[in-house]
């Protein structure tokens, strides 16, 4: 006898039970509900539910449409935030920060150079200024400081409004009386250098938050880019496409130059020139070859500020490993009077550092607590100049003192004198790690399948909430993923598995 499929809406009108609790459809409904919640973040629509009931299944076509949706992208991005830890709160540049007091913006860090005493306010009265907002007159205060008053400015973060800004801080001077470029870090102490046109050389608390959010979201946009273009999963970790919006473009153009020791412009300035601060959409820009995807993005480098921290986060998030001290506990550092600075060999440290130090060296050409790349042309791995100043016991240059091993505090350092500090104690094939960059570690992880195994495990934990995974099933998913590196296909394999069906009931 042919089975007649009655539309869900009619069944409800005829008194049928709620399809989410009706025992006759509970298995399929539970599966569909779980599937939609996991993939899209919400339950199926009534129309989708009707189609599923009529078909007697969640069709592959419907599943593929869910997996191709923006909602799915957001779900994957949310999962990866847990891996990145990409929330930033780093105080980008206090020397360029303006604050508001009594409704008037001023830079209290520079007030000692402009008004004579730090924290001195400009006063609540209109300033008398020239065409460059340089004060012509001011009032003298009892403590010897001066107050010049305020001017009206349209700030870059709200160009259609005006705010009151202390005149010294609103100055438009491009070059100071001492010949200093007011858009560079040398201008911090120049009294006649201000925040420039529309305050473009300064930030306030709100703009700082927007910049930090943009740097953090760059990582999320790289996940979206991987999914939308069906790229390999490892491309997300090694590719050279970055995403900037108005706040981050402004930061790279106008704020980063004030601290070149910690911040560098990753792309040519002209590529960012047309992006207004108030444009919060993300634009793709291509980076130089030495950039390795998320792992050398500003958001990653500034969030994980040491090379060991950068390596440890990749090890935990993308290889599903962690450093566990031995059951006997960590042994005392050393019985020697002068412990070796080589943590790979030092007693009590070698259990973890024998692995961690060579891995941290993959970031050896990226400055710590910064996002600056040290090229091999500017910073060769070995410097004869730095080696000679040690051997001749002569004064070493600032570059040698700051970046190279030029002092011998232990005999274990002798073979590495004159080497860039991040190369110290690296031997054999490990010495190439800084020049390979994180790309070298990712490629090794692809080859030995550890990246695929961890990615499959992470996805299964998300979708199945496994307390203990099934090794054989996980190995099958891992093998398939290692061959395709398609994250969408990995998720599809899991949600169409018997394990997922059982977990959804």
Distance CA 100, CA 157 (A): 15
Contacts for 340-346 with beta carbons within 8 Å, 24 or more apart? 340/410, 340/412, 341/409, 341/410, 341/412, 341/413, 341/425, 342/412, 342/424, 342/425, 343/425, 344/425, 345/412
3-state SS, residue 504: helix
DSSP string of 118-158, one letter each residue: TT----SSB--B-TT--BS--EE-TTS-EE--EEEE--TTS
Question: What letter would DSSP give residue 285?
Answer: E
Model pLDDT, residue 394: 86
Host H or E run for residue 478: helix 471-484
- Residue after which a domain boundary falls, among 302, 317, 347: 302
DSSP conformational letter for 348: T
Query: 186, 125 in Cβ contact below 8 A?
Result: no
Contact 108, 204 (CB under 8 A): no
CA distance 34 to 47: 17
Query: Residue 478 in contact with residue 449, Cβ under 8 Å?
Result: yes
My answer on whether 192 and 219 are in the same domain is no
Alpha carbons 125 and 14: distance in angstroms, whole number: 76
Report if residue 90 sits inside a domain.
no
Number of H helices, E strands in the chain: 20, 8
Considering its fold, how many domains does the chain have in total? Answer: 5
In a domain, 467, yes or no: yes
Location of structure tokens 């959804």: 504
Beta strands in 207-264 (DSSP E): 241-244
Q: What's the confidence (pLDDT) of residue 52? A: 94
Same domain, yes or no: 108 and 189: yes
Residues 19 and 147 in one domain: no
| Per-residue pLDDT at 343 | 61
Q: Which of 161, 184, 202 is the last residue of a domain?
A: 202
Whole-angstrom CA distances from 439 to 398, 458, 485 are 30, 21, 16
Q: Which pLDDT belongs to residue 219?
A: 95
- For residue 89, give the nearest of 310, 299, 308 by alpha carbon: 299
Q: Please check whether residues 427 and 371 belong to one and the same domain.
A: yes
Please name the residue that has the structure tokens 């634009």: 283
Distance CA 171, CA 151 (A): 10
* 297 and 423 share one domain: no
Residues 349 and 406 in one domain: yes
Q: Same domain for 104 and 220?
A: no
Q: Coil, helix or strand for 308? A: helix
Residue bearing tokens 């008398």: 128
Grouping H, G, I as helix, E, B as strand and the rest as coil, residue 181 is: strand
**Helix, strand, coil share of the chain (percent; to 5):** 50, 10, 45
* Domain-embedded: residue 349: yes
Residues 154 and 226 in one domain: no
Give the predicted TM-score (pTM) of the model. Answer: 0.87
Residue 389's pLDDT is what?
A: 92
Whether 215 and 139 share a structural domain: no
Q: What are phi and psi of 22, to 5 degrees?
A: -65, 120
Quote the pLDDT of residue 206: 95
Rounded to a whole number of angstroms, the CA Rg of the chain reads 29
How many Å apart are CA 39 and CA 43, to the nearest integer? 10
Q: Which two tokens stand for residue 318?
A: 């993308």
d(CA 199, CA 171): 9
Residue 406, domain member (yes or no):
yes
Q: Which domain holds residue 281?
A: 206-302
Residues 31, 499: Cα–Cα separation, whole Å: 11
| 74 within a domain of the structure (yes/no) | no
Cα 293 to Cα 488: distance, rounded to the nearest angstrom: 19
Is residue 70 classed as helix, strand or coil in its secondary structure? helix
CA 373 vs. chain centroid, Å, equals 15
CA distance 161 to 149: 20
- Both 107 and 197 in one domain: the answer is yes
pLDDT in tens, the chain (505 residues): 333 333 333 333 333 344 334 444 458 988 999 999 999 999 999 999 889 999 999 999 999 999 999 999 999 999 999 999 877 767 778 889 999 999 999 998 899 999 999 889 999 999 999 999 999 999 999 999 999 999 999 999 999 999 999 999 999 999 999 999 999 999 999 999 999 999 999 999 999 999 999 999 999 999 999 999 999 999 999 999 999 999 999 999 999 999 999 999 998 888 888 899 999 999 999 999 999 999 999 999 999 999 999 999 999 999 999 866 555 555 554 555 667 666 666 665 556 657 788 999 999 999 999 999 999 999 999 999 999 998 888 899 999 999 999 988 887 788 999 999 999 989 888 999 999 999 999 999 999 999 999 999 999 999 998 867 789 999 999 999 998 999 999 999 999 999 999 888 7
In a domain, 79, yes or no: no
CA atoms within 13 A on the CB side of 151: 26
CA distance 345 to 337: 15
294 within some domain: yes
The last residue of one of the domains, among 51, 67, 83, is 67
Residue 272 in domain: yes
Q: Same structural domain for residues 309 and 437?
A: yes
Using alpha carbons, select from 35, 131, 79 the residue that is nearest to residue 496: 35
Would you say 196 and 255 are in contact if contact means Cβ atoms under 8 Å apart? no
Q: Are residues 327 and 421 in the same domain?
A: yes
């Amino acid at each position: 006898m042919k089975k007649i499929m009655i539309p869900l809406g009619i069944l409800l009108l005829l008194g049928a039970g709620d399809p989410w609790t009706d025992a006759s459809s509970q298995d399929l409904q539970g599966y569909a509900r779980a599937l939609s919640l996991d993939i899209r973040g919400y339950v199926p629509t009534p129309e989708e539910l009707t189609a599923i009931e009529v078909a007697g299944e969640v069709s592959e076509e419907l599943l593929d449409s869910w997996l191709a949706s923006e909602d799915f992208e957001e779900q994957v991005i949310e999962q990866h935030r847990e891996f990145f830890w990409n929330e930033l709160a780093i105080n980008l540049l206090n020397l360029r920060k303006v604050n508001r007091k009594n409704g008037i913006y001023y830079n209290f860090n520079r007030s000692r150079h402009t008004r004579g005493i730090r924290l001195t306010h400009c006063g609540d009265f209109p300033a008398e200024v020239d065409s460059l907002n340089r004060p012509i007159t001011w009032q003298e205060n009892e403590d010897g400081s001066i107050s010049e008053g305020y001017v009206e400015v349209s700030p870059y973060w709200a160009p259609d409004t005006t705010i009151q800004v202390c005149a010294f801080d609103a100055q438009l001077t491009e070059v100071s009386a001492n010949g200093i470029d007011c858009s560079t870090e040398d201008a911090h102490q120049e009294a006649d250098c201000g925040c420039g046109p529309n305050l473009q050389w300064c930030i306030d608390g709100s703009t700082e938050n927007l910049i930090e959010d943009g740097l953090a979201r760059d990582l999320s946009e790289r996940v979206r880019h991987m999914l939308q273009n069906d790229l390999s999963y490892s491309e997300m970790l090694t590719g050279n496409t970055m995403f900037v919006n108005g706040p981050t473009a402004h930061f790279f153009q106008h704020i980063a130059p004030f601290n070149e020791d910690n911040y560098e412009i990753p792309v040519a300035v002209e590529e960012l020139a047309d992006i207004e601060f108030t444009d919060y959409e993300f634009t793709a820009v291509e980076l130089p070859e030495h950039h390795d995807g998320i792992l050398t993005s500003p958001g990653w480098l500034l969030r994980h500020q040491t090379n060991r921290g950068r390596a440890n986060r990749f090890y935990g998030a993308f290889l599903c490993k962690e450093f566990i001290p031995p059951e006997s506990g960590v042994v005392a550092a050393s019985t020697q009077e002068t412990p070796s600075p080589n943590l790979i060999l030092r007693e009590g440290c070698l259990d973890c550092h024998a692995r961690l130090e060579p891995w941290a060296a993959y970031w050896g050409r990226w400055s710590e607590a910064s996002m600056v790349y040290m090229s091999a042309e500017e910073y060769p791995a070995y410097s004869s100049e730095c080696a000679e100043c040690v051997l001749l016991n002569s004064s070493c240059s600032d570059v040698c003192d700051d970046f190279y091993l030029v002092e011998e505090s232990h005999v274990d350092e002798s073979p590495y004198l004159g080497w860039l500090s991040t190369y110290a104690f690296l031997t054999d094939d490990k010495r190439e790690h800084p020049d390979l960059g994180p790309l070298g570690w990712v490629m090794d992880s692809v080859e030995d399948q550890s990246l695929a195994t961890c990615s499959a495990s992470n996805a299964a934990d998300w979708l199945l909430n496994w307390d203990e995974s099934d090794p054989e099933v996980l190995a099958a998913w891992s093998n398939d993923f290692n061959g395709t590196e398609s994250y969408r296909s990995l998720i599809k394999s899991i949600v169409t598995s018997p394990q997922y069906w059982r977990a959804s009931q």
